[in-house]
Amino acid sequence: MAQVVLDGCFPPDGRTGLVVILRAWCDESGTDVNSPWITMAAWVSEPTRWKLLTRRWKRILKGPPAVREAHAASMEARQGDFRGWTKGEVEAFRLKLCEQIDRHVRFGVAISVNRIDYERVVLPILPAPGQHAFSAWRDP
């Protein structure tokens, strides 16, 4: 999927194409030392669609019942804002959010890497904080 998107923006012939501005929300999982895998995932869409998603997402969070954030671990464990919720209530809430993602997001991407391989191959070559191209690199 990513290659199709890139080929549409920067076709191999170098003569035609479309420059696209996208916005993404990224999150990681498995960065605790006990996890054998590290995963990074993102939802990607155009800014106008993202704005609609953000509005609808906030509306769902306002409830009732009101929730500060839709944190998957809290939902799964029914802790924090989800304390006292039934499994069915959590699933109905999650479905509302997923419907908005389906409606407003163009595509999602995810990658998982083995922690041992990551620490052996990637960590030794990472730039120091502040020396990264985005100046915000923070390793797990």
* pLDDT tens per residue across span 62-93: 998 999 999 888 999 999 999 999 999 999 99
The pTM (predicted TM-score) of the whole model is 0.68
Q: Which residue has the higher pLDDT, 90 or 139?
A: 90
Strands 37-45, 23-29: pairing kind = antiparallel
Q: Who has greater pLDDT, 136 or 110?
A: 110
What is the structure's pLDDT at 117?
A: 92
Contacts of 96 (CB under 8 A, 6+ apart): 60
Distances (CA, A) of 124 to 32, 72, 114: 19, 31, 15
pLDDT value for 14: 57
How buried is 94 (Cβ within 10 angstroms: 0-12 exposed, 13-18 middle, 19+ buried)? middle
